[in-house]
Structure 1
Amino acid sequence: MKAVGYIQQQAGLGVEGLIDLELPVPVPGPKDILVRVQAIAINPRDIKMRGSQRASAESPRVLGWDAAGIVEAVGSEVTGFAKGDHVLYAGNMLKPGANAEFHLVDARIAGQVPKGLSFADAASLPLATLTAWGMLFDRLGLPRSGGQGRNLLILGGAGGVATMAIQLARQFTDVTVIASASRPESQAWIRKMGAHHVISHQDDIAAQIKSQKLGPVHWIFSMNTTPASFTAMAAVAAPYGKIGFIDEPEGLDVNLLKPKSLSLHAEAVFTKPIFETDDIGQQRCVLEDVAQKIADGTLQSPVNAHFGTINAENLRRAHQAIESGTSIGKVVLEGF
């Protein structure tokens, strides 16, 4: 089968390390479905893992944790899926990724693609949707169908996860959504996604919250957490507020949390499949619910760029777009 991956383990491996490969078609285990991949999306996780895991010419490493495709075969213990079903999923970062013609995924974390939703739109949803959902409702505990008069601040609002977080907060809660972006085009994007208020994270966050009378903030969801932004978060947070992050921040002064009894929360979409948690099946439920709302127009697709077919050349360009730090929404590739 065709695939794109790398064959050298090297910290900071550049995009030139991504190459076209020919690999054997994998065989599903008891809980797996074998998917003929139709579309993929690119995430910052791909960039962080490029070159970081063991790889060689004999054992290439394939990345990719956003995919949609057609079920080709199912494992002996799989229920709810059959050959020909259209599915979407994020997968498991400890296993081979989905930048390949055929891919194995644990059936418990895959969802059915609803009629009317393209493979490209479906592939753009899993990682961003599941991360946003997990942070908003499982970690931060936003109230479903409630929260009037309370504020959510989303820092770094134009990427894939933030795009979905804004929409999910608007769709499933009554909280006021404040989101940050630094450029006119990214600010326009987050307004389109439904943010009530927009600030710039390149300017003084606390000063903007104060001048626009948007505080105190009850929940904060950070995409890129620095010591400076963390200080600002602690300053604008309400007493007993909650701060969530999805990156790997360093040098944070956690003592800033104590005066207001703030709590700090991490979210990783791969916790469920890696540790096979009791709630592993939640991913299917969330994906199918959100995908249906995208299909019927209740929510907007996060796709903002289509980079063509799935091959090394196009995947290199997609990685570069994410690495630039200026991409908006999700980048997808489709077909081999």
Structure 2
Amino acid sequence: MKIITIVGARPQFIKAAAVSNIIREENKEILIHTGQHYDNNMSDIFFNELGIPYPDYNLQVGSGNHGEQTGKMLIELEKIYLEEKPDLVLVYGDTNSTLAGALCASKLLIPVAHVEAGLRSFNMSMPEEQNRILTDHISKYLFAPTDTAVANLKNEGVVNNVHNVGDVMYDATIHFKNKALEKSQINEKLKLTPGEFILTTIHRAENTNDINRLEGIIKALNESEEQIILPLHPRTKKYIDEYKLMIRDNIKIIEPVGYLDMLYLEMMSKKIVTDSGGVQKEAYFMGKPCITMRDETEWIETVNVGWNCIVGTDTTKILKAIMNFNPLGEQKNIFGDGNASNKIVRTIV
């Protein structure tokens, strides 16, 4: 069986690390990197660390407006699909790469498999929400990570070929957690004391591109008495500089880190403050309290079981959560058994 896999951004590299090697045991995989994340710290390092097969094609689309970026992908993907003639196209998550990969395949009547189907923030102003809904409705196989995702699809009338397989990022965390402890050298650079720092990530356009939202976040971090470790996304850095926002000494800004270093920082942190969907999950996998700087989350299960709180970008709410938010009770198994990747490949084949 010939499968084309589409990746283009950090979370997709991690998911592919869990799935691609299993695909290649008995099938032919063509891996296409759209180049949506093109910085070495955001892209190449993940292929090196995770042992992902290097892409057969790199479209190198780079940054751009949504229409421009998606359009460039569609043009190049169509050429590749027509040449390679795959039996199926596999896409992950909710990026422009996901939508372009699925839409191009659907137009050519090639079956689409969507990993991480059924997620909903119920905020249609988010590009990710638009991408994931459209992809779900043109996919033949829908691999949902949770019961809630399955219910969301059912509510939209999508019930055929829906499989609750668990979360492939959970598979990856289980597989790479010990390797991160052995291989990561991030603490040799930062000299951190475990359990005495807050790990923070900020990257969503809704937060970075709005001066009021980003200012609210930075003000909260500045006023916190905790040590903050902030791997700084290129877009966030651009807007911090553009808005001339002050960064206090309690915030240690570092370059974007690879997957193993990120897992290590998550394991060693006291709490995690983020606007990332993937990091919300990784916080849960690591048993860390998560404070989410958004107005909603796709991972509502983590909120319902008490390990994630939604604070938006209000300075007071962020500060209060950093000081006081501590989950009560044990974690529940909401992301499967760590065998999602095998289930996905077995179902497709």
Q: TM-score, normalised by structure 2?
A: 0.35
Identify the structure with the greater helix proportion: 2
Q: TM-score, normalised by structure 1?
A: 0.37
> Which structure carries more relative contact order (alpha carbon 8 Å, separation 6+)?
1
